[in-house]
Amino acid sequence: MYISELDTPALTVNLDILERNIAQMATLCQNLDIPLRPHTKTHKVPQIAQMQIEAGAQGITCQKVGEAEVMVAVGIDDILIPYNIVGKPKLERLMQLAKQATITVAVDSDITARGLSEQAQKDGATIQVVVEMDTGSKRCGVQSPQAVQALAQTIVDLPGLDFQGVMTYPSRLEAKPFIDETLELLRKDGISVSMVSGGGTGSEVNSKQIGCTETRSGSYIYEGMQRIGPETVNPETCALRMIVTVVSTPTANRVITDGGMKAFTSYPPTPYGYIIEQPEVKIYGMSVEHGHIDVSGSSHRFQVGEQLSVIPVHQGMTSNLHDELVAVRNGQVEAIWPIAGRGKVK
């Protein structure tokens, strides 16, 4: 099958670019001598996760238990979930995973840690734990090295928990004093640290410099080695393409496609994507099922039925809306992969 034969909107990935992005990140981390634990929340595709592991990743990162379940189901056996797991339904599922694979989770409170311990004892499981530190992101995480120390002391005494270390996001150079003091306090307490996990595509060098033992990068898989924005999309490094069809040409300055918010997301800012065939035109707006394109700056005469290839600006958000990813090389379909982790927000 050729791309032109696909029913649209169709989410596709350019295999040559995808493979290059995987290889470049693997090489960068190897040269930095820092293990890579790629974040799969961008693609949510087990086949891509396996490609990353085959390229040298030591394991993967999943943001939710549901994502981890689909990865364990295909045999991936080393997963970090950098998220506070709270509530009996999630804890029960988590412990089932911990019996099948090495699962590490983050905590930033003794309430979360004790919940993990109680469920681990009940289910006869052991779960690895890291303490999340807030080193500037102002999201989750304990607020000081002393708070890390206190929580780590609690964790090492709780049955069913195996304290591994600490994590932060993103890896900022400013985080080094926080991390250094934390590690010194834990060392003085005789608490062993085997994991210092940092993250964020583009911060791999920082992860190494601030003393991390691994780095979590995710968006590189589709966007390349640097984060993109609406004005910095690069077709040479961005692997994802949404194939859409022109369904209306109501005026000389506007055409409408069959890909709207439910295909791309309405995530700001605009333009919502980069049109490869005609980069001078802009997707200036979207309704639920329509893409609105300003073609006033183009001499091209658009026709109903014409297909366009669009690189979404927020590729992780877009991929979460689709059941399948069409893997394409040189204009031909090589595989159709289920996006098995899409919608797994629990």
CATH of span 3-10+227-338: 2.40.37.20
Output the pLDDT for position 228: 73
What pLDDT sits at residue 29? Answer: 98
Mean pLDDT over 292-301 rounds to 96
pLDDT at 309: 98
> 140-144, 232-236, 290-294: lowest mean pLDDT where?
232-236
Q: Where in the chain is the domain with CATH 3.20.20.10?
A: 15-223
Q: Residue 315 pLDDT more than 80? A: yes
Quick: pLDDT tens for 19-35: 999 999 999 999 999 99
Per-residue pLDDT, averaged over 185-211, amounts to 97
Residues of the chain with CATH 2.40.37.20: 3-10+227-338
Q: Which amino acid is at 292?
A: H
Predicted pLDDT at 226: 75
Does the model's pTM come out above 0.85? yes
The pLDDT of residue 82 is 98
Q: How confident is the model at residue 227 (pLDDT cuts 50, 70, 90)?
A: confident
Res. 268: pLDDT tops 70:
no
CA R_g for the chain: 22
Best mean pLDDT range from 47-51, 221-225, 269-273:
47-51
What's the CATH superfamily of 15-223?
Alanine racemase (3.20.20.10)
pLDDT for 269 equals: 67
Q: How far apart are CA 267 and CA 57, in angstroms?
A: 30
Rounded mean pLDDT of 182-199? 98
Averaged pLDDT, 294-315: 95
Tokens 């306090």, located at residue: 185
User: If you average pLDDT over every residue of the chain, what do you get?
Assistant: 96
- 78-117: per-residue pLDDT in tens? 999 999 999 999 999 999 999 999 999 999 999 999 999 9
